[in-house]
Every structure is written in C-alpha cells, then in structure tokens.
Homo-oligomer: A and B are copies of this chain.
Amino acid sequence: MQRKSFSSMQCPIARSLERVGEWWSILILRDAFFGLTRFDEFQKSLDIAPNMLTRRLNALVEEGLLERHLYCEKPPRYEYRLTQRGRDFRPVLLALLTWGNKHFCPEGESIVLLDAQTGQNADPVLVDAVTGKYINEKGYIIGAGPAADETTLQRVAGAVAK
C-alpha cells in the first residue's frame, strides 16, 4: 500500500510515525534496546526477510535513530547502535509494553519492566516533570504551540470546543 507522507503535517505524532515507518522499525528498535546490534541477530529475532531488514535498518540510520559501526574489515561487517534520538524512543516502547500487558496478555505477563535495584515490577505512568502531577485526561489538554499554522489552530480550537 502506498502511504501518504505525514511529514508535511504539523502534528508531531504524524511526524513520529513517518520516522518509525513500519511495525518492523519499532520491533527493530525494541530489539536494539534488548542489546541486539548485528544483522544476523535482528534477522533471527524477527524472522524477517533479509531485503526487508536491510531496508528498515537503512531507513532507521537515515532517520538518525541508529548508527552504523564497522566491526569487521574483511569482509566489511557493520553493527547498528542506538543514537540519542533512538534512545529517546524508549518511553514510546514502554508505553506500548504497558498497554499490551494490560489489555492483550490474558494468560499473564511474559515481559515486564523491573526496577534494576530491587527487582520489583515497575508500573510506568506519565507524569508532568514540571509539576510532578500525573498526566490524566482531565488535567492535561492538547494546545497549539508557537509554530502552529491556521489548520492546526482550527484543529486545536475544535478539540477544545468539543
């Protein structure tokens, strides 16, 4: 399916989706946080066609989420490491993890987030770093930022009026 480009839209969610491209990209990033770096490791983990994996890895490098490092000269072999931009994606993965565990694991949790110090299960929630308050639907609303164009302003105004 041809997908239209979202990058021209002002919405930062649409722009983010444009960058992570396909589900495969999100699963590659997940595996990168698991410590995988090499083509063969990703391929084995994801059971993905090599040409598809090559495409997705190249896209993630182009978008600045992964960096390519030569680890063997003859033959040339590269490993893929998360950049800071890639690392900053972790909260998205943890939010997906939390949602998946809550709603789609009727047999119990298989993968969990643990406090490294205590080994206790963590319960990740969004908090406003400015005030320390929990971010719930009533307390926090979407608004227009300084770069909002007319379309975005209308969209936000419509949302507030609802």
Which residues of A approach B to under 8 Å, CB–CB?
Answer: 1, 3-4, 6-7, 10-19, 23, 26-27, 30, 33-35, 45, 47, 64, 85, 87-105, 107-117, 119-131, 133, 135, 137-149, 152, 155-156, 158-159, 161-162
Q: Known: A91-B126, A110-B144. Contact between A3 and B17, CB under 8 A?
A: no
Please measure, in the bound complex, the distance between the C-alpha atom of A117 and the C-alpha atom of B140, giving whole angstroms: 8
**Minimal beta-carbon separation of A141 from chain B (angstroms):** 5
Which residues on the B side are within 8 Å of A130 (C-beta)?
Answer: 115, 120-123
Number of copies: 2
Which residues on the B side are within 8 Å of A109 (C-beta)?
Answer: 12, 145-147
Inter-subunit contact A91/B95 (CB<8 Å): yes
**Minimal beta-carbon separation of A28 from chain B (angstroms):** 12
Which one, B3, B11, B103, contacts A30 given CB within 8 A?
Answer: B11
**Minimal beta-carbon separation of A150 from chain B (angstroms):** 11
Please measure, in the bound complex, the distance between the C-alpha atom of A159 and the C-alpha atom of B36, giving whole angstroms: 8
Inter-subunit contact A147/B114 (CB<8 Å): no
